[in-house]
């Protein structure tokens, strides 16, 4: 499964898509994609807004943090997300610590996110992605949850990381969906987010 196969083709425009490694990120820290470091540093996040108008400084930092994180630059991502004092900044911060892995620190930052408006749409997107698929018992809750549970997902990442096989691949897909939903929200927070599985 590639990153682009998770989304409808028009969800992530070319000016963003070319900044993402094509493979799904690992559940752990992985290796930084050095070939993308230069393009990431040179990118203006205000070119990513779907509608007219600039991103707020916090939204731009969140989007940039997410791109660094996708590409394995955990320290670069961390330096941005820890300076953003919004629920979205805390969410990116939590994902980064989840990948380190530092599950206790990740849980701290997800508690700071609170009850986020993406909890329902993210759970919907995950259910859509997993519909009709054989899912290991440990991840079965992802097929029925109507709200995203970041704490259960931290535990699931801990269980799956480095073990290979179906569970790890599936959790990498779910983590990528989480990334896309959060990134898209930060890029255009006044849009209602919906996720439709790519055919």
- The answer to the question of residue 182 being in a domain is yes
Q: What are phi and psi for residue 2, nearest 5 degrees? A: -105, 165
- The answer to the question of residue 98 being in a domain is yes
Please state the rounded mean pLDDT for residues 109-114.
Answer: 98
Which residues are registered as beta bridge partners of 54?
none
Those residues with Cβ within 8 angstroms of residue 60's Cβ, 6 or more apart along the chain or in another chain:
45, 46, 54
Q: pLDDT for 136-195, tens place per residue?
A: 999 999 999 999 999 999 999 999 999 999 999 999 999 999 999 999 899 886 444 444
Domain count within the chain: 1
Return d(Cα 55, Cα 71) in angstroms, integer: 22
Residue 183's pLDDT is 92
- The answer to the question of residue 35 being in a domain is no
- The answer to the question of residue 31 being in a domain is no
Is 90 exceeded by the pLDDT of residue 62? Answer: yes
- The answer to the question of residue 43 being in a domain is no
Structural domain that includes position 174: 12-21+54-187
- The answer to the question of residue 38 being in a domain is no
Least confident piece of the model among 15-24, 73-82, 178-187 = 15-24
């Amino acid at each position: 499964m590639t990153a682009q196969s998770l989304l409808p083709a028009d969800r992530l425009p070319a000016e963003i898509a070319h900044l993402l490694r094509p493979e799904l990120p690992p559940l752990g820290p992985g290796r930084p994609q050095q070939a993308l470091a230069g393009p990431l540093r040179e990118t203006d996040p205000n070119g990513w807004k779907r509608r007219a108008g600039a991103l707020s400084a916090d939204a731009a930092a969140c989007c940039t943090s997410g791109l660094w994180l996708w590409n394995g630059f955990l320290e670069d991502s961390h330096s941005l997300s820890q300076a953003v004092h919004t629920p979205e900044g805390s969410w990116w911060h939590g994902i980064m610590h989840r990948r380190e892995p530092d599950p206790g620190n990740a849980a701290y930052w997800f508690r700071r996110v609170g009850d986020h408006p993406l909890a329902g749409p993210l759970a919907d997107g995950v259910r859509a992605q997993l519909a009709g698929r054989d899912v290991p018992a440990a991840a079965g809750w992802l097929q029925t949850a109507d709200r995203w549970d970041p704490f259960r997902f931290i535990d699931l990442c801990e269980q799956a990381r480095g073990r290979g096989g179906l569970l790890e691949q599936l959790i990498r897909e779910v983590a990528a969906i989480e990334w896309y939903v959060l990134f898209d929200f930060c890029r255009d927070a006044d849009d209602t987010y919906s996720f439709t599985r790519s055919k």
